[in-house]
Chain A
Amino acid sequence: EENKILFYHPNEVEKNEKIRNVGLCEAIVQFTRTFSPSKPAKSLHTQKNRQFFNEPEENFWMVMVVRNPIIEKQSKDGKPVVEYQEEELLDKVYSSVLQQCYSMYKLFNGTFLKAMEDGGVKLLKERLEKFFHRYLQTLHLQSCDLLDIFGGISFFPLDKMTYLKIQSFINRMEESLSVVKYTAFLYNDQLIWSGLEQDDMRILYKYLTTSLFPRHIEPELAGRDSPIRAEMPGNLQHYGRFLTGPLNLNDPEAKCRFPKIFVNTDDTYEELHLIVYKAMSAAVCFMIDASTQLTLDFCRRLDSIVGPQLTVLASDICEQFNINKRISGSEKEPQFKFIYFNHMNLAEKSTIHMRKTPSVSLTSVHPDLMKILGDINSDFTRPSSNQFFQIQRVVEEVKKLCATQFNNIFFLD
């Protein structure tokens, strides 16, 4: 039985209990399968916990147990009594979190099956241990909400001309750096272009915006790692630098190691180097086949080609963005509060979330309201239409909003 367990957190739990818990999960899934062979149980509600089940690959199960929130109450005899709030957690939110865990693992490690083929259970266990050990610490389950269900991508609003300039830039980069297979372009942590397919981009976007970018913001704010490099020869001053890979190009000992990612795992199963290069607010991801050996020379070449052009482009975008903002006057406090999600292009937009970081989710509405929204979402989700939730549930208002904010989209009532 013990051999069935590939990874268990926390590891300190006694072996027999591990086996017992896993056995229980297996039993539940098997039991519910008798009722619904294709869709076994997704979650189990108990007084203290909620358990979420997910079978991302055939015969591989991921289970997550989340404790229900507790409030302490004074009972009649004055003793504090712990009360579990069984209805506080939203199934959909945490199922999505569990799925995301898998997607993130797969992005950096490939599928479970591939690991088994490559190095048997031992390798898979090693990988799981290595990945989840760190990853679980970055999960902040308290602050998960509606947006985690969507796993959407925030797109950067841009005029056509600037967008075309970016296209032109990307095409030129891919031409000069012919080893580059895919490119993605982001500005202000928002996506502008993805050469990757949607599903892969979705998880990569999640990684970039919740992990990689925040990690680099702090040193920037602290003024360390000053981006202007006056020592650059030939007056080629620019603000470009690597977020992954070598920190200092002038250091001959610098390591050119980039994170590897796995994409199109259903299909061509590609392993790629992920180079993230940033100048001011513009970030470009270059993805290069993992079989290509990346040298310091290559990094220097990339830096000298991409750096100056990206710096110019970033200031162009910034300028254009400010012009557009002035025209549309969107600096004003938005009149409506809404969460928009378009399942087609995964575009999301929220005027509720003032700031969303992995640790804090700062919303401008009461948590209760967020919960109601989550409930509405679960009730209304239809698989093939735009999902749209409106706080001021006055139909006329919705129409007005649609007319002002989403004039370009065809809504079914």
Chain B
Amino acid sequence: MGGEDYYLELCERPVQFEKANPVNCVFFDEANKQVFAVRSGGATGVVVKGPDDRNPISFRMDDRGEVKCIKFSLENKILAVQRTSKTVDFCNFIPDNSQLEYTQECKTKNANILGFCWTSSTEIVFITDQGIEFYQVLPEKRSLKLLKSHNINVNWYMYCPESAVILLSTTVLENVLQPFYFRAGTMSKLPKFEIELPAAPKSTKLSLSERDIAMATIYGQLYVLFLRHHSRTSNSTGAEVVLYHLPREGACKRMHILKLNRTGKFALNVVDNLVTSVIFDIKLRGESDGTVTFHHPVLPARSIQPYQIPVAGPAAVTSQSPVPCKLYSSSWIVFQPDIIISASQGYLWNLQVKLQPIVNLLPDKGRLMDFLLQRKECKMVILSVCSQMLTESDRATLPVIATVFDKLNHEYKKYLDAEQSYTMAVEAGQSRSNPPLKRPVRTQAVVDQSDVYTHVLSPFVENKEMPHKFVIAVLMEYIRSLNQFQIPVQHYLHELVIKTLVQHNLFYMLHQFLQYHVLSDSKPLVCTACLLLSLESFYPPAHQLSLDMLKRLSTANDEIVEVLLSKHQVLAALRFIRGIGGHDNISARKFLDAAKQTDDVMLFYTIFRFFEQRNQRLRGNPNFTPGEHCEEHVAFFKQVFGEQALMRPTTF
């Protein structure tokens, strides 16, 4: 196995900041994902680093006591600093606004501020031990306006910035959670819910610890994650994670239980919609008891990939070897969704999931596809899995291959349908409707025919060592899957099938496929028809097959005429073109040439006469015009049948 199957890794370029020490305090803001390094209460500088911006913000502020909490509002407009348990100080970072600090005291008497959260660039929530207060900051006036407040006993709180939900822990056991939802100046109270604590003897007071709760958005839904160290049911050992679904409307419901199957301390993260610690994907099927779905880890447990602290920075020019980083160190602090901070080492990492190693850890290809299709950066991994399952050494059985194709096409079809209904809505003029229509996003999970053709099937067919039976079976399986999802099959796939069959002289098979319209007719298939024509010398029925195909296209009449003429079936060509009413526009010279080539003078006579009559009908004169370039044929006609055989102009 080696080190190759680590599927969790720390990001390569962590945010580096000054280590925490007695003079340097480090804070992390989950909303902006910024690390604040505050030296000597800010007097000797504050350095703010975010994960995306490589340009840290640095500034100074007066040391007016120990900083308890420091956060920028969204877009770094206003800085809020809490130094006492009663007040929060503000400082504008907006150009042209006064940078003088201003202070807000909490409204509730005798309350202590536990902390604060920014919910927008100018809105802030104070959480006190007696409730919450929702303010709007007016930077120009350097003052705050109370929008709303709510009184409730609070033990601790938790904020999920992505969904703008604050969770308050109330009651003695701390296990009744009260969520609030903030949006554009409003605060709404959501139904409270109780976390079921493990049964414990009465004597020991077991309360819900803040450390066992996390909030995260998984597949677009907000969940409260509760890490239960001991299962409620005494017979099962091992910790589990209980997922409570917290909808915008309606009550919070226990939805999923993730069985960790082990005990100890766990770090919980959510990466790419996966609950990590051990990897869980709640979209993969689990056992359900009706209300709650039980999940087992998707993958065997693996630690995070060993990490070498990069010796970076211009100062570190010394050729010092990288230092291995101690993983899961006690100094690690885990933030949602995917952040790990080591304050003592001065690093902030994003936890990442590597998909490639997972491919080998999930032997069930169907489950693997389900898993991969939900991931963000999945396309190339999916395509490589497809390629791999078709290789000689690692070949999957046809039913497995069929399952994989079906899963890909299911996703592909969903996107096509969404795209189509969007187009239809736009055409119907609903573009100004409210809410505005959103064009469906094409995620990496949409693996279309050209992807599969280019990366999987084309190289697969090229591989000469593949038994052709298997090649054809795979191609047909993909075409079957597309048909099953009613996705029109692209012509290049048909061509691939035809090419393969022809290469192995399997003409009768090809014939049968065409007969059942498996290789359906489409305009680019004219080329296919022509390809068939070229096969005629190997397989005579190809000629008729291609004509049948051209006929069905009904736009390929010119090609039919050409084919017939090339076979010297001049009369047949003429009848055909007359049958569809195109005989007034055809080139006389082309037909006369073909007739002459047959060495059948009577045929030539018939064709010649036909065009004379056409000339008569169209122009009132049987003679050919110079533009028709038929002089040579007129001469030939005279030579064989004599001058008098020419049709005379009818004169009146």
Residues of A within 8 A of B (CB): 155, 158, 160-161, 163-165, 167-168, 171-172, 174-176, 193-195, 197-198, 344-345, 347, 384, 386, 408-410, 412-413
Which of B476, B512, B560 touches A164 (beta carbons < 8 Å)?
Answer: B476
- Chain A residues with Cβ under 8 A from B625's Cβ? none
Q: Which residue of B lies closest to A408 (CB)?
A: B552
Residues of B within 8 A of A (CB): 397-399, 402, 469-470, 472-473, 476-477, 479-480, 483-484, 508-509, 511-512, 515-518, 520, 540-541, 544-545, 547-548, 550-552, 560, 569, 572, 575, 579
- Chain B residues with Cβ under 8 A from A412's Cβ? 569, 572, 575
Q: When the two chains form their complex, are residues B518 and A409 in contact, meaning their CB atoms are under 8 A apart? A: no
Which of B402, B469, B479, B508 touches A194 (beta carbons < 8 Å)?
Answer: B508
Taking A176-B397, A344-B544 as given, write out 8 further A-B residue pairs in contact, using a Cβ cutoff of 8 Å, ordered by the A residue number. A160-B517, A160-B520, A161-B484, A167-B476, A168-B476, A174-B473, A345-B515, A408-B551
Q: When the two chains form their complex, are residues A194 and B512 in contact, meaning their CB atoms are under 8 A apart? A: yes
With known contacts A345-B511, A410-B560, A175–B473 Cβ distance under 8 A: yes
- Chain B residues with Cβ under 8 A from A195's Cβ? 509
Q: When the two chains form their complex, are residues B483 and A164 in contact, meaning their CB atoms are under 8 A apart? A: yes
Q: Which 10 A-B pairs have the closest CB atoms?
A: A344-B541, A171-B473, A164-B480, A410-B547, A410-B551, A163-B516, A172-B398, A167-B476, A412-B572, A410-B548
Q: When the two chains form their complex, are residues B398 and A198 in contact, meaning their CB atoms are under 8 A apart? A: no
The listed residue with most A CB atoms (<10 A of its CB), out of B399, B515, B547, B572, is: B515
Q: When the two chains form their complex, are residues B518 and A164 in contact, meaning their CB atoms are under 8 A apart? A: yes
With known contacts A409-B548, A413-B575, A171–B511 Cβ distance under 8 A: no
- Chain A residues with Cβ under 8 A from B470's Cβ? 175
Q: When the two chains form their complex, are residues B483 and A160 in contact, meaning their CB atoms are under 8 A apart? A: yes
Q: When the two chains form their complex, are residues B398 and A175 in contact, meaning their CB atoms are under 8 A apart? A: yes
Q: Which residue of B lies closest to A343 (CB)?
A: B541
Can you show 12 pairs from A to B with CB atoms below 8 A apart?
A155-B515, A160-B516, A164-B476, A164-B518, A168-B480, A172-B399, A174-B469, A197-B508, A344-B545, A347-B515, A410-B550, A413-B575
- Chain A residues with Cβ under 8 A from B483's Cβ? 160-161, 164
With known contacts A155-B515, A345-B511, A409-B548, A167–B397 Cβ distance under 8 A: no
- Chain B residues with Cβ under 8 A from A176's Cβ? 397
Q: When the two chains form their complex, are residues A168 and B548 in contact, meaning their CB atoms are under 8 A apart? A: no
Which of B402, B484, B511 touches A344 (beta carbons < 8 Å)?
Answer: B511
CA distance A194 to B541 in the complex (A): 17
B344 vs chain A, min Cβ distance (A): 58
- Chain A residues with Cβ under 8 A from B548's Cβ? 408-410
CA distance A262 to B96 in the complex (A): 96
CA distance A227 to B90 in the complex (A): 86
CA distance A194 to B513 in the complex (A): 11
- Chain A residues with Cβ under 8 A from B399's Cβ? 172
With known contacts A344-B541, A408-B551, A408-B552, A164–B397 Cβ distance under 8 A: no
Which of A158, A194, A409 touches B516 (beta carbons < 8 Å)?
Answer: A158
- Chain A residues with Cβ under 8 A from B541's Cβ? 344-345
A90 vs chain B, min Cβ distance (A): 26
CA distance A347 to B480 in the complex (A): 25
With known contacts A160-B517, A161-B483, A161-B484, A410–B508 Cβ distance under 8 A: no
- Chain A residues with Cβ under 8 A from B551's Cβ? 408-410
With known contacts A155-B515, A163-B518, A410-B547, A168–B477 Cβ distance under 8 A: yes
A156 vs chain B, min Cβ distance (A): 10
Which of B480, B509, B512 touches A165 (beta carbons < 8 Å)?
Answer: B480
Q: When the two chains form their complex, are residues A168 and B512 in contact, meaning their CB atoms are under 8 A apart? A: no
A310 vs chain B, min Cβ distance (A): 15
- Chain A residues with Cβ under 8 A from B552's Cβ? 408
CA distance A198 to B548 in the complex (A): 20
Q: When the two chains form their complex, are residues A410 and B544 in contact, meaning their CB atoms are under 8 A apart? A: yes
Q: Which residue of B lies closest to A347 (CB)?
A: B515
- Chain B residues with Cβ under 8 A from A161's Cβ? 480, 483-484
CA distance A155 to B512 in the complex (A): 10
A122 vs chain B, min Cβ distance (A): 37
Q: Which residue of B lies closest to A386 (CB)?
A: B544
Q: When the two chains form their complex, are residues B572 and A167 in contact, meaning their CB atoms are under 8 A apart? A: no
- Chain A residues with Cβ under 8 A from B547's Cβ? 410
Q: When the two chains form their complex, are residues B398 and A168 in contact, meaning their CB atoms are under 8 A apart? A: yes
- Chain B residues with Cβ under 8 A from A345's Cβ? 511-512, 515, 541
B318 vs chain A, min Cβ distance (A): 61
The listed residue with most A CB atoms (<10 A of its CB), out of B479, B520, B541, B550, is: B541
- Chain A residues with Cβ under 8 A from B402's Cβ? 168
A26 vs chain B, min Cβ distance (A): 35
CA distance A171 to B470 in the complex (A): 8
- Chain A residues with Cβ under 8 A from B398's Cβ? 168, 171-172, 175
Q: When the two chains form their complex, are residues A171 and B477 in contact, meaning their CB atoms are under 8 A apart? A: yes
The listed residue with most B CB atoms (<10 A of its CB), out of A197, A344, A410, A413, is: A410
Q: When the two chains form their complex, are residues B508 and A164 in contact, meaning their CB atoms are under 8 A apart? A: no
A253 vs chain B, min Cβ distance (A): 34
CA distance A386 to B509 in the complex (A): 21
- Chain A residues with Cβ under 8 A from B517's Cβ? 160
B582 vs chain A, min Cβ distance (A): 16
Q: When the two chains form their complex, are residues B572 and A413 in contact, meaning their CB atoms are under 8 A apart? A: yes
Q: When the two chains form their complex, are residues A198 and B477 in contact, meaning their CB atoms are under 8 A apart? A: no
Q: When the two chains form their complex, are residues A164 and B550 in contact, meaning their CB atoms are under 8 A apart? A: no
A188 vs chain B, min Cβ distance (A): 16
CA distance A194 to B515 in the complex (A): 12
Q: When the two chains form their complex, are residues B518 and A160 in contact, meaning their CB atoms are under 8 A apart? A: yes
Q: When the two chains form their complex, are residues A167 and B480 in contact, meaning their CB atoms are under 8 A apart? A: yes
A304 vs chain B, min Cβ distance (A): 15
Q: When the two chains form their complex, are residues A193 and B512 in contact, meaning their CB atoms are under 8 A apart? A: yes
CA distance A172 to B480 in the complex (A): 13
Q: Which residue of A lies closest to B469 (CB)?
A: A174
Q: Which residue of A lies closest to B567 (CB)?
A: A384
A347 vs chain B, min Cβ distance (A): 8
CA distance A49 to B511 in the complex (A): 42
With known contacts A161-B483, A164-B476, A168-B476, A175–B544 Cβ distance under 8 A: no
- Chain B residues with Cβ under 8 A from A408's Cβ? 548, 551-552
Q: Which residue of A lies closest to B399 (CB)?
A: A172
Q: When the two chains form their complex, are residues B484 and A175 in contact, meaning their CB atoms are under 8 A apart? A: no
A27 vs chain B, min Cβ distance (A): 37
- Chain A residues with Cβ under 8 A from B550's Cβ? 410
- Chain B residues with Cβ under 8 A from A168's Cβ? 398, 402, 476-477, 480
CA distance A193 to B511 in the complex (A): 11
CA distance A195 to B517 in the complex (A): 18
B500 vs chain A, min Cβ distance (A): 14
CA distance A163 to B516 in the complex (A): 7
Q: Which residue of B lies closest to A342 (CB)?
A: B544
Q: Which residue of A lies closest to B564 (CB)?
A: A412
Q: Which residue of A lies closest to B541 (CB)?
A: A344
CA distance A296 to B447 in the complex (A): 45
Q: Which residue of A lies closest to B521 (CB)?
A: A408
CA distance A172 to B551 in the complex (A): 35
Q: Which residue of A lies closest to B550 (CB)?
A: A410
B367 vs chain A, min Cβ distance (A): 21
A75 vs chain B, min Cβ distance (A): 53
- Chain A residues with Cβ under 8 A from B511's Cβ? 344-345
CA distance A408 to B399 in the complex (A): 34
- Chain A residues with Cβ under 8 A from B476's Cβ? 164, 167-168, 171
B649 vs chain A, min Cβ distance (A): 31
CA distance A163 to B575 in the complex (A): 36
Q: When the two chains form their complex, are residues B479 and A164 in contact, meaning their CB atoms are under 8 A apart? A: yes
Q: Which residue of A lies closest to B572 (CB)?
A: A412
Q: Which residue of A lies closest to B563 (CB)?
A: A410
- Chain B residues with Cβ under 8 A from A198's Cβ? 508
CA distance A243 to B569 in the complex (A): 49
- Chain B residues with Cβ under 8 A from A347's Cβ? 515
- Chain B residues with Cβ under 8 A from A175's Cβ? 397-398, 470, 473
Q: Which residue of A lies closest to B569 (CB)?
A: A412
CA distance A172 to B397 in the complex (A): 8
- Chain B residues with Cβ under 8 A from A167's Cβ? 476, 480, 518
- Chain B residues with Cβ under 8 A from A197's Cβ? 508
CA distance A195 to B479 in the complex (A): 19
